[in-house]
């Protein structure tokens, strides 16, 4: 039997130095990448001042493909990002108040974690996710009737 | 505030591999011109190489190299070690393991790792020539760990499967993607871990996902373009041959299992692939799938040109113990007869006539078998199995089997098979559940024994079925065996010890502690007249299934290359 959770506990998990030392992973805002006329998807994530998170923490791609990602560090500390990409991860160093870009190729469906590998930023909250929605192509599953899903 | 800030330009994110000291970025074009004809003659024409998964199409995992032999093996030391490490939050974060068999072509090694890694290494020095890392979804369904069993090479390309069920072709000189084909549905619980096989102008692969109620299949693609040639589903529809071995009601065939997650062997003269198929689904609840459940737990002959099934032999009809038969069918000749040898999870060693898959001999190869009995004619009599709901049943071997996927070897020099044996039991309690796509579909709760377990490396004569020698180990043997022309047999164990034995007598001749357990397939090659034994090391995967007593064994991610001092 668990005790009733006080609202302050929930709030304290979603900030720096609340209940946890950092911010517990998997929380934050959800954003959706926009699909451009070139077929590529475009998205932006920021690192807000003193929050040690990527915002949005969850960036959703409607389908597999190319993501043109802008990353903005609005924090007064240096961070970085090791980003998922087919072929090899992409790395970008982000000094205080900097802005950079990454071009990422990702399969779907599924989701990928990424993080800032400096100073245990990853544990402190600077671990984000890129979610790729959609279904696998029909040619990957020929002649299989639809099955019940959860 | 952000819009008013004068930002520093951080530029474009760079490839992470360029931040690795010593990274070269390219490899010599050694696989250009390497094709079917060379693979057919691999062992005899170019014994210095290991150019296909088992070393040759017959699956023997035997090399005629003899520079390292019984007289000098005691001098074996590491020539180099390659470490890849684990980075960030990846799928199967606690279960990553190196399970591959390194391929070597004229001094260049090609090897896959967990989580979508592929490397080309200098086989003489271990230097990293290039790498490719396929981003793998964190949430891809993996029954048995974040693993991959290896690659194939041909026609200037390297081929591998990915955790999210793609088969991809890379340029063998630089690791750049050439083509990419998804061939499984990750939303259904499918994945891919198999090492591809090149046959003629095709790359052959198979499915994983046997614990999620998928319909297992093998697939062939044009190696040049990735264009699909055929798909062969291993579970027939109701109106197809074998369809009457499944209930007519509902669609159990559509979720029936029989995945092909280890590499087939191939007989060029008969023009037949020998696929090894996995367990039926649900694994332990046979009540929802009455019948023999073809073609689960089988060796299935498949025509490589059409994908058509020919003959088959079912090792465990109506399996309710999770006794996949995905372990290899090794092709060999005996008294002028074309045979295949297979050590099944069910604890029996089968010798078949591979022309028609008829049984020649079946003998037990593990001490404890309680699930049932197979007589000398192949008649199967189940004795202990999860039948009543909620009633725990203990049986030997457990669901990882008396031998898991890790491969046996056969030496044509000694005429003996060498099998890594796991003597481990388990308790299963039937718990019927509704099928839902992507949710584990076992039909039982299962706990594998942590005590009273054993392991051994056994040398078995296929002509008699007799065990010629046995090396007893306190741990189950959970890695593939390598046999060589130097009268040696190599095998690793869960404690990290890599050993060499006299192939004829079983005498232990050499051992080395590698620091993490073995769950891979070592290979051998020469460069500039020096023989190496290549051994990927790094324990993990489905440890709770094959040896939960090793769950705390250190993870690792190294490739050792052993050689005699220069």
Shortest Cα distance from A8 to chain B (angstroms)?
28
- The 3-state DSSP class for residue B355 equals coil
Nearest residue on chain B to A115, alpha-carbon basis = B88
Arithmetic mean of pLDDT, B541-566: 94
Cβ–Cβ contacts within 10 Å for residue B527, how many? 21
- What part of B 424-443 touches A (C-beta under 8 Å)? 434-439
Q: Which residues, in sequence order, are bridge partners of residue B524?
A: B533
- Interatomic CA distance for residues B168 and B36, integer angstroms: 19
Cis amide leading into B205 (omega within 30): no
- Interatomic CA distance for residues A70 and A42, integer angstroms: 8
Shortest Cα distance from A62 to chain B (angstroms)?
15
- Interatomic CA distance for residues B485 and B70, integer angstroms: 10
What are the boundaries of each domain within chain B? 2-86+101-563
Q: Which of A78-87, B163-172, B553-562 has the lowest mean pLDDT?
A: B553-562
Nearest residue on chain B to A84, alpha-carbon basis = B135
- The 3-state DSSP class for residue A79 equals strand
What confidence score (pLDDT) does residue B39 get? 98
Tokens of B488: 């040696």
B30 touches chain A (CB under 8 A): no
Sequence-distant (6+) residues with CB within 8 A of B37 are none
What confidence score (pLDDT) does residue B204 get? 98
Sequence-distant (6+) residues with CB within 8 A of B354 are B267, B270, B272, B274, B301, B329, B331, B338, B339, B340
- Interatomic CA distance for residues B257 and B208, integer angstroms: 9
Q: Do B7 and A82 touch (CB under 8 A)?
A: no
pLDDT digits (tens, 9 = 90+) for B515-544: 999 999 999 999 999 999 999 999 999 999
Contact B437, A148 (CB under 8 A): yes
- Interatomic CA distance for residues B123 and B103, integer angstroms: 10
CATH architecture of B2-86+101-563: 8 Propeller (2.140)
CA distance between the termini of chain B: 65
Q: Binning pLDDT at 50, 70 and 90, where does residue A27 land?
A: confident
Residue in B176, B110, B22 with CA at minimum distance from that of residue A87: B176
Catalytic residue among B322, B324, B423, B487: B322
Percentage above 90 pLDDT, chain B: 97
A27, B264, B484 from B412: Cα distances, Å: 60, 20, 10
Arithmetic mean of pLDDT, B467-481: 97
Nearest residue on chain B to A121, alpha-carbon basis = B88
Q: Do A145 and B254 touch (CB under 8 A)?
A: yes
Q: How high is the mean pLDDT of chain B? A: 97
Task: Give the H/E segment covering residue A122.
Answer: helix A121-124
Arithmetic mean of pLDDT, A121-138: 96
Contact B118, B160 (CB under 8 A): yes
pLDDT digits (tens, 9 = 90+) for B139-188: 999 999 999 999 999 999 999 999 999 999 999 999 999 999 999 999 99
Query: What does pTM read for this prediction?
Result: 0.97
- The 3-state DSSP class for residue A10 equals helix
Contact A34, A42 (CB under 8 A): yes
Cβ–Cβ contacts within 10 Å for residue B445, how many? 14
What confidence score (pLDDT) does residue A2 get? 75
**B186 contacts in chain A (CB < 8 Å):** 109-110, 136
Nearest residue on chain A to B434, alpha-carbon basis = A148
Backbone angles phi, psi at A43, to 5 degrees: -150, 165
- Interatomic CA distance for residues B324 and B319, integer angstroms: 8
**What number of CA atoms fall less than 13 Å from residue B79's CA on the CB side?**
21
Q: Binning pLDDT at 50, 70 and 90, where does residue B3 land?
A: low
Q: Do B13 and A49 touch (CB under 8 A)?
A: no
Percentage above 70 pLDDT, chain B: 99
B3 touches chain A (CB under 8 A): no
- Interatomic CA distance for residues B220 and A119, integer angstroms: 47
Which of B1, B10, B133 to probe by mutation at the A interface, max A CB count within 10 Å? B10
Arithmetic mean of pLDDT, B362-385: 98
Which of A46, A88, A126, A143 to probe by mutation at the B interface, max B CB count within 10 Å? A88
Residue in B532, B566, B557, B536 with CA at minimum distance from that of residue B124: B532
- The 3-state DSSP class for residue B65 equals coil
- Interatomic CA distance for residues B245 and B248, integer angstroms: 9
- Interatomic CA distance for residues B53 and B147, integer angstroms: 15
pLDDT digits (tens, 9 = 90+) for A48-79: 999 999 999 999 999 999 999 999 999 999 99
What confidence score (pLDDT) does residue B96 get? 92
Is residue B322 among the annotated active site residues? yes
Q: Binning pLDDT at 50, 70 and 90, where does residue B4 land?
A: confident
- Interatomic CA distance for residues B231 and B257, integer angstroms: 15
Shortest Cα distance from A139 to chain B (angstroms)?
7
Which of A63, A105, A141, A142 to probe by mutation at the B interface, max B CB count within 10 Å? A141
B222 touches chain A (CB under 8 A): no
- Interatomic CA distance for residues B367 and B364, integer angstroms: 8
Tokens of A140: 């990957």
Q: Binning pLDDT at 50, 70 and 90, where does residue B5 land?
A: confident
Question: How many residues does the structure list for chain A?
Answer: 150
Whose tokens are 């078998």? That residue is B369
Q: Binning pLDDT at 50, 70 and 90, where does residue A145 land?
A: confident
pLDDT digits (tens, 9 = 90+) for B261-271: 999 999 999 99
Angle, CA B241 vertex, CA B239 and CA B246 arms, to 5°: 70
Backbone angles phi, psi at B409, to 5 degrees: -130, 160
- What part of B 149-178 touches A (C-beta under 8 Å)? 162, 164-166, 175-177
Cβ–Cβ contacts within 10 Å for residue B504, how many? 16
Arithmetic mean of pLDDT, A12-23: 94
Contact B540, B440 (CB under 8 A): no
Q: Do B182 and A107 touch (CB under 8 A)?
A: yes
B4 touches chain A (CB under 8 A): no
Contact B422, B478 (CB under 8 A): yes
What confidence score (pLDDT) does residue A3 get? 85
B14 touches chain A (CB under 8 A): yes
B132 touches chain A (CB under 8 A): yes
DSSP A36: P
Q: Give me the sheet containing B298-302, strands edge to edge.
A: B265-267, B272-276, B298-302, B309-314
Residue in B521, B255, B256, B284 with CA at minimum distance from that of residue B386: B284
Arithmetic mean of pLDDT, B496-520: 98
Q: Shortest CB distance from B12 goes to which of A100, A111, A145?
A: A100
Sequence-distant (6+) residues with CB within 8 A of B367 are B423, B454
Shortest Cα distance from A113 to chain B (angstroms)?
6
Give the torsion sign (CA, B411, B413, B416, B422): negative
- Interatomic CA distance for residues B354 and A141, integer angstroms: 31
- Do β-strands B392-395 and B426-430 pair in parallel, antiparallel, or remain unpaired? antiparallel
Q: Binning pLDDT at 50, 70 and 90, where does residue B236 land?
A: very high
pLDDT digits (tens, 9 = 90+) for B101-141: 999 999 999 999 999 999 999 999 999 999 999 999 999 99
Total beta-carbon pairs less than 8 A apart between chain A and chain B: 169
Contact B501, B481 (CB under 8 A): no
Contact B404, B325 (CB under 8 A): no
Q: Which of A4-8, B244-248, B366-370, B505-509 has the lowest mean pLDDT?
A: A4-8
Contact B165, B182 (CB under 8 A): yes
Residue in A130, A128, A122 with CA at minimum distance from that of residue A22: A122
Selected residue with higher pLDDT from A146 and A44: A44
Task: Give the H/E segment covering residue B428.
Answer: strand B426-430
H helix runs in B119-245, sequence order: none
What confidence score (pLDDT) does residue A1 get? 62
What domains appear along chain A, each with residue ranges and CATH number? 31-133 (2.60.40.420)
Q: Binning pLDDT at 50, 70 and 90, where does residue B75 land?
A: very high
B88 touches chain A (CB under 8 A): yes
Nearest residue on chain A to B140, alpha-carbon basis = A110
**B213 contacts in chain A (CB < 8 Å):** 147
**A150 contacts in chain B (CB < 8 Å):** 436-439
């Amino acid at each position: 039997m668990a005790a009733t959770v006080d609202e302050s506990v929930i709030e304290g998990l979603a900030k720096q130095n609340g209940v946890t030392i950092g911010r517990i992973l998997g929380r934050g805002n959800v954003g959706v990448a926009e699909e451009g006329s070139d077929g590529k998807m475009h998205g932006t994530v920021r690192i807000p001042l003193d929050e040690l998170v990527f915002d949005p923490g969850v960036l959703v791609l409607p389908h597999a493909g190319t993501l043109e990602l802008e990353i903005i560090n609005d924090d007064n500390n240096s961070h970085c990002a090791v980003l998922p990409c087919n072929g090899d991860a992409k790395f970008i160093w982000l000094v205080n108040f900097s802005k950079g870009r990454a071009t990422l190729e990702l399969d779907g469906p599924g989701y990928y974690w990424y993080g800032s590998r400096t100073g245990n930023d990853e544990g402190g909250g600077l671990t984000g996710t890129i979610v790729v929605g959609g279904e696998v192509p029909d040619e990957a599953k020929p002649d299989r009737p639809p099955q019940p899903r959860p | 505030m952000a819009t008013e800030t004068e930002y520093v330009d951080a530029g474009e994110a760079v490839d992470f591999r360029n931040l690795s000291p010593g990274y070269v970025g390219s490899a010599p074009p050694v696989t250009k011109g390497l094709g079917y004809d060379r693979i057919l003659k691999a062992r005899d024409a170019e014994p210095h190489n290991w150019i296909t998964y088992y070393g040759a199409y017959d699956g023997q995992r035997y090399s005629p190299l003899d520079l390292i032999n019984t007289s000098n093996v005691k001098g074996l030391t590491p020539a180099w070690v390659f470490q890849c490490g684990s980075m960030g939050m990846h799928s199967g974060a606690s279960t990553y393991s190196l399970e591959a068999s390194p391929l070597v072509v004229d001094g260049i090694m090609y090897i896959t790792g967990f989580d979508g890694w592929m490397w080309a290494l200098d086989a003489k020095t271990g230097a990293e020539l290039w790498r490719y890392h396929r981003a793998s979804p964190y949430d891809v369904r993996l029954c048995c760990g974040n693993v991959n069993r290896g690659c194939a090479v041909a026609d200037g390309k390297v081929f591998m499967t990915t955790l999210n069920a793609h088969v991809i072709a890379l340029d063998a000189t630089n690791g750049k993607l050439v083509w990419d084909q998804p061939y499984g549905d990750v939303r259904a619980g499918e994945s891919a871990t198999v090492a591809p096989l090149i046959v003629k102008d095709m790359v052959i692969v198979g499915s994983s996902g046997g614990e999620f109620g998928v319909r297992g299949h093998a697939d062939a693609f044009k190696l040049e373009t990735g264009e699909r040639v055929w798909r062969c589903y291993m579970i027939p529809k109701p109106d197809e041959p074998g369809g009457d071995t499944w209930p007519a009601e509902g669609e159990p065939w559509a979720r029936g299992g029989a995945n092909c997650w280890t590499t087939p062997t191939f007989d060029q003269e008969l023009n037949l692939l020998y696929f090894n198929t996995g367990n039926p689904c649900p694994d332990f609840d046979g009540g929802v799938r009455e019948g023999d459940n073809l073609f689960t737990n089988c060796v299935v002959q498949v025509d490589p040109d059409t994908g058509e099934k020919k003959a088959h032999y079912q090792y465990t009809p109506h399996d309710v113990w999770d006794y996949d038969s995905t372990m290899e069918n090794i092709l060999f000749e005996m008294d002028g007869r074309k045979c295949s040898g297979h050590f099944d999870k069910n604890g029996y060693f089968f010798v078949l006539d591979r022309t028609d898959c008829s049984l020649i001999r079946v003998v037990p190869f593990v001490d404890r078998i309680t699930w049932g009995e197979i007589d000398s004619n192949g008649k199967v009599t189940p004795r202990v199995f999860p039948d009543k709901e909620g009633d725990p049943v203990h049986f030997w071997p457990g669901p990882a089997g008396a031998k898991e996927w890790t491969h046996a070897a056969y030496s044509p020099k000694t005429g003996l098979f060498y099998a890594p044996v796991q003597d481990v039991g388990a308790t299963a309690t039937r718990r019927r559940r509704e099928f839902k796509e992507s949710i584990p579909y076992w039909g039982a709760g299962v706990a594998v024994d942590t005590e009273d377990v054993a392991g051994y490396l056994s040398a078995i004569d296929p002509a008699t079925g007799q065990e010629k020698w046995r090396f007893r180990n306190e741990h189950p043997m959970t890695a593939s065996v390598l046999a060589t022309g130097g009268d040696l047999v190599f095998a690793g164990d869960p404690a990290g010890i890599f050993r060499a034995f006299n192939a004829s007598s079983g005498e232990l001749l050499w051992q080395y502690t590698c620091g993490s357990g073995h769950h891979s397939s070592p290979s051998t090659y020469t460069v500039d007249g020096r023989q190496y034994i290549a051994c990927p090391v790094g324990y993990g995967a489905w440890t709770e299934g094959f040896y939960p007593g090793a769950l705390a064994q250190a993870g690792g991610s190294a490739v050792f290359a052993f050689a005699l001092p220069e």
